[in-house]
Structure 1
Amino acid sequence: MLPRGLMISAPASGTGKTTVMLGLARAFRDRGLTVQPFKSGPDYIDPAFHGAASGRISLNLDSWAMPPDMLDAHLARAGGADLVLAEGSMGLFDGVAQPGESGNGASADIARRTGWPVVLVLDISGQAQTAAAVARGFPGFREGVDVAGVVLNRVASPRHEALARLGMEAAGLRVFGALPRRRDVEVPERHLGLVQAEEHGSLEPFIANAAAFIAEHLDLDALLAAAAGGGGPAAAPAPAAIRPPGQRIALARDAAFSFTYPHLLDAWRAAGAEILPFSPLADEAPAATADICWLPGGYPELHAGRLAAAGRFRSGLRAFAETRPVHGECGGYMAMGAGLVDAEGTRHEMAGLLGLVTSYETRRMHLGYRLAELQGPLPGQDAGARLRGHEFHYSTILAQPDAPLARVSDANGAAVAETGSRRGRASGTFFHLIAEAS
């Protein structure tokens, strides 16, 4: 059976879930507990913070993209833990309209599957008793999802807290504590979410500060007592296979290319693949001994000038692609293209393996799950394979002249224009691969 756990969720994004999650993970770890973190939904930034706070790798649990055996295999990683903390995404019940492999992508799917009670983090700025009216709708909204109580966040004053607590008492909701407004314990954000963990200049002091803040204002004993579980298998079956794209994988890894799901790298290594990291920003080329090069997403638009000036990287990548496959996801795909226009309207030359030209001069958000049927092969996958992934970026396509890589649709089955591209041994997608579709 699964260890006892809690789902840290909220009515909406931006309520302070991550601060509570990180503070709790470190505070319980400081008490000597082994804490296993998870992240519900398609997020590649939060798990790195989770790992730093807990000391254990955090994996994604995605009910839309992942089949049941894959979810169970990820949950089995909690074996040996004293407590599981899972951070939700968006609002507790927010997902897509059409179900996928194991649900519609909502954090509630995971809470129901595992039996972990939900702790709602409520941003009560601008309201008091009314916050209880919002929270009261959560218990009983979906059968099998237990709401243990709430954390009041961004409390302005003792009077504000007292009024909010009165409302929660009238609504029959347990309050685990109240957090005053503190800018120094909020994780900084940018346009795709939080600033990456490796970019945080003082990560360890920040997490220690968050843990002290949480321990001071929340009832840790009550939260630990509220944790429960029991869902999931005692011994997970083998996970749904994610075939590695090669035996020796040259993986771009730096501030411009870091959006890789932990479970993907974990699966590649479990299958015996060797990962050879290199840094395009340091003007490094992929290892000559690799048999495939993989460029993850990230923030190439913030480093477009440096990438354009990285002659060894670009010439090395082109030479690599003459004999071996190169694949890029989102930002990596953009870096493989002919050019990238930054927010100021300046065009920067990219590697030129594909004809793709993208622009950030006029921002346009592309967000959502993707189901792709490959029209041509990509490393590790044959033509005709069906893949599930997620797309999130703000670029605009100015040119995409190469053969489409896949027929791509959103979670509702509507076709999307971001089909990816293929030319020779080069391929790219705007979506990040999460799992192979059943």
Structure 2
Amino acid sequence: MPRSLIISAPASGVGKTTLTLALARAFRDRGLVVQSFKSGPDYIDPAFHAAATGRVSVNIDSWAMTRESVDALAARGANADLVLAEGSMGLFDGVAAPGVSGTGATADIADMMGWPVLLVIDPSGQAQTTAAVAKGLRDFREGVRVAGVVLNRVASPRHEDLVRRAFVDAGIAVFGALPRHAAIELPKRHLGLVQAEEQKNVDQLIGEAARFVAGHVDLDAILQSASDWSAKPAAQSSNLTPPGQRVALARDAAFSFIYPHMLEDWRARGAEILTFSPLADEGPDARADVCWLPGGYPELHAGQLAANTRFQRTLASFAETRPVHGECGGYMVLGTALTDAEGTRHAMTGLLGLETSFAVRRMHLGYRLAELASSIPGYQAGSRLRGHEFHYSTILAQPDTALAVVRDATGAIIAETGSRRGNVTGTFFHLIAEDR
């Protein structure tokens, strides 16, 4: 039976991912089989988890997924020695209106699965107040149990001593304190960490983080604080419908934002996935019956994508007879043009009329519930889909037929409707689950 913990914090940017990776690798180095998960809609962190553990990490999401789907995805941890889940944002941060099984907060998953919370707290600019914050998190919601705390970025031994004394008074275990250490900081960009596959030294970084954390944290105490967890039998997965029998999937540094559970569901239901690289000027495989362009960072590669005429020509030919769908960055590439952060306008494939710009940054972030006005690959008109949107582009034009009525987590209709033109469709949101 595996032990289990979920790593959370009072806020974003405190060091959850670094600690998760370091602990996962440190326990793996001890010979334990470690299974990681990511609470919430993040398509970057799971790849780092996989690099640290050697096992695929998947997202579990209380707003978008049923309890049964969460249980089915979590069941892959049944043969592990330790389950280490990573939360998102602050422990109790979710949306105002509950979704399928919760608000999307890390606390929902902790409560639902019975996983104790290991808090990461940055005491910068504080001392004893840090313990008050942790005590508030511990007592805020019945059903959420705090196992203890790791302090991150302590300023000095004196600072650490002050903070530790306050935690003794609060009755909360401190498993360790980490001084600042630039060598284990992971590179970032505007949507989060630079992707694991883009970092040649990612294994070295994780190894260094593991050694550093093992030298400052009581690993035995952390393992003891984890709870025994019995996974429920996997009656079903999230059961996302594959878009076709043979799916041509764009896959490279510009097109990498696709949830692992989605690909697993497609394959489990008999789909064959044929990857191609637009950055290498490749087009969709002629054997495919549908083409899917996921999100990613097309804005960082817009010049190259615009220059890759073979990719554009082959995709256009494919779209004459078969469906093509794009999510977020993929949707932008299906459009007429993309203006990068420096203000340079790049012609895209022109299969849709969408035009976007990163010259003026505007953040679009949040859960999305879409009711399709017309079909997309795998789903008919009237289907309700749950997803998540996160990008910094501005819509300059979206002239094609609206693809869906899209609402945010409060139920308010938003302008990012997606588009349809002939066999080509696109959405700004990334699909997570079917609405049931």
TM-score, length basis structure 1: 0.98
Question: SS at the partner of 1:32?
Answer: coil
Deviation at 1:264, TM superposition (A): 0.5
Deviation at 1:334, TM superposition (A): 0.1
Q: Which stretch shifts more, 85-94 or 152-161?
A: 152-161
Task: Confirm whether residue 86 of structure 1 aligns to residue 85 of structure 2.
Answer: yes
Q: Does the 8 A contact of 2:294 with 2:330 survive in 1?
A: yes
Gapped regions of structure 1 (runs ≥ 5): none
Aligned equivalent of 2:58 = 59
Aligned equivalent of 2:68 = 69
**What is the rounded CA distance, in whole Å, between the counterparts of 1:134 and 1:145 in structure 2?**
15
Question: SS at the partner of 1:258?
Answer: coil
Q: State, as a whole percentage, how many aligned pairs show the same letter.
A: 69
Q: Does the 8 A contact of 1:115 with 1:231 survive in 2?
A: no
Aligned equivalent of 2:94 = 95
Aligned equivalent of 2:326 = 328
Deviation at 1:232, TM superposition (A): 5.0
**What is the rounded CA distance, in whole Å, between the counterparts of 2:237 and 2:300 in structure 1?**
36
Aligned equivalent of 1:319 = 317
Aligned equivalent of 1:11 = 10
Aligned equivalent of 1:294 = 292
Deviations 1:101-145 (A, max 9, x none): 110000011111111110110011121111111111011211110
**What is the rounded CA distance, in whole Å, between the counterparts of 1:69 and 1:320 in structure 2?**
37
Question: SS at the partner of 2:85?
Answer: strand
Question: SS at the partner of 2:165?
Answer: helix
**What is the rounded CA distance, in whole Å, between the counterparts of 2:85 and 2:251 in structure 1?**
26
Residue type matched to 1:179 in 2? L
Question: SS at the partner of 1:224?
Answer: helix
Q: Does the 8 A contact of 1:96 with 1:105 survive in 2?
A: yes
**What is the rounded CA distance, in whole Å, between the counterparts of 1:305 and 1:46 in structure 2?**
27
**What is the rounded CA distance, in whole Å, between the counterparts of 1:222 and 1:284 in structure 2?**
51
**What is the rounded CA distance, in whole Å, between the counterparts of 2:322 and 2:394 in structure 1?**
29
Q: Does the 8 A contact of 2:187 with 2:193 survive in 1?
A: yes
Aligned equivalent of 2:156 = 157
Question: SS at the partner of 1:415?
Answer: coil
Q: Does the 8 A contact of 1:115 with 1:229 survive in 2?
A: no
Aligned equivalent of 1:43 = 42
- 1:269 maps to which of 267, 277, 284: 267
**What is the rounded CA distance, in whole Å, between the counterparts of 1:292 and 1:419 in structure 2?**
22
Q: Give runs of aligned pairs for residues 363-378 of structure 1, distance below 5 A.
A: 363-378=361-376
Task: Confirm whether residue 434 of structure 1 aligns to residue 424 of structure 2.
Answer: no
**What is the rounded CA distance, in whole Å, between the counterparts of 1:61 and 1:90 in structure 2?**
14
Residue type matched to 1:259 in 2? F
Deviation at 1:157, TM superposition (A): 1.1
Question: SS at the partner of 2:115?
Answer: coil
Q: Does the 8 A contact of 1:153 with 1:180 survive in 2?
A: yes
Task: Confirm whether residue 225 of structure 1 aligns to residue 214 of structure 2.
Answer: no
Deviation at 1:201, TM superposition (A): 2.5
Aligned equivalent of 1:403 = 401
Q: Does the 8 A contact of 2:36 with 2:49 survive in 1?
A: yes
Deviations 1:261-317 (A, max 9, x none): 010011111111111111111111111111111000011011110000000001111
Aligned equivalent of 1:414 = 412
Deviation at 1:168, TM superposition (A): 1.1
**What is the rounded CA distance, in whole Å, between the counterparts of 1:146 and 1:284 in structure 2?**
50
Q: Does the 8 A contact of 1:114 with 1:231 survive in 2?
A: no
**What is the rounded CA distance, in whole Å, between the counterparts of 2:16 and 2:185 in structure 1?**
10
**What is the rounded CA distance, in whole Å, between the counterparts of 1:34 and 1:232 in structure 2?**
15
Question: SS at the partner of 2:96?
Answer: coil
Residue type matched to 2:404 in 1? A
Question: SS at the partner of 1:50?
Answer: helix
Aligned equivalent of 1:114 = 113
- RMSD over equivalenced CA pairs, Å: 0.9
**What is the rounded CA distance, in whole Å, between the counterparts of 2:309 and 2:301 in structure 1?**
14
Q: Which stretch shifts more, 68-77 or 45-54?
A: 68-77
Deviation at 1:239, TM superposition (A): 2.3
**What is the rounded CA distance, in whole Å, between the counterparts of 2:229 and 2:278 in structure 1?**
45
- 2:346 maps to which of 330, 345, 348: 348
**What is the rounded CA distance, in whole Å, between the counterparts of 2:217 and 2:238 in structure 1?**
39
Residue type matched to 1:390 in 2? H
Residue type matched to 2:312 in 1? R
Question: SS at the partner of 1:297?
Answer: coil
Q: Does the 8 A contact of 2:238 with 2:265 survive in 1?
A: no
Q: Give runs of aligned pairs for residues 139-218 of structure 1, distance below 5 A.
A: 139-218=138-217
Deviations 1:344-395 (A, max 9, x none): 1111000011000000010000000000000000000000000000000000
**What is the rounded CA distance, in whole Å, between the counterparts of 2:35 and 2:238 in structure 1?**
21
Residue type matched to 1:345 in 2? G
Aligned equivalent of 1:278 = 276
Deviation at 1:231, TM superposition (A): 6.1
**What is the rounded CA distance, in whole Å, between the counterparts of 2:79 and 2:334 in structure 1?**
42
Q: How many residues align?
A: 436
Residue type matched to 2:89 in 1? M
**What is the rounded CA distance, in whole Å, between the counterparts of 1:326 and 1:176 in structure 2?**
51
Deviations 1:182-207 (A, max 9, x none): 11111111110111000112011111
Residue type matched to 1:381 in 2? Y
Residue type matched to 2:166 in 1? G
TM-score, length basis structure 2: 0.99
Deviation at 1:171, TM superposition (A): 1.4
Q: Does the 8 A contact of 2:77 with 2:231 survive in 1?
A: no
**What is the rounded CA distance, in whole Å, between the counterparts of 1:131 and 1:238 in structure 2?**
42
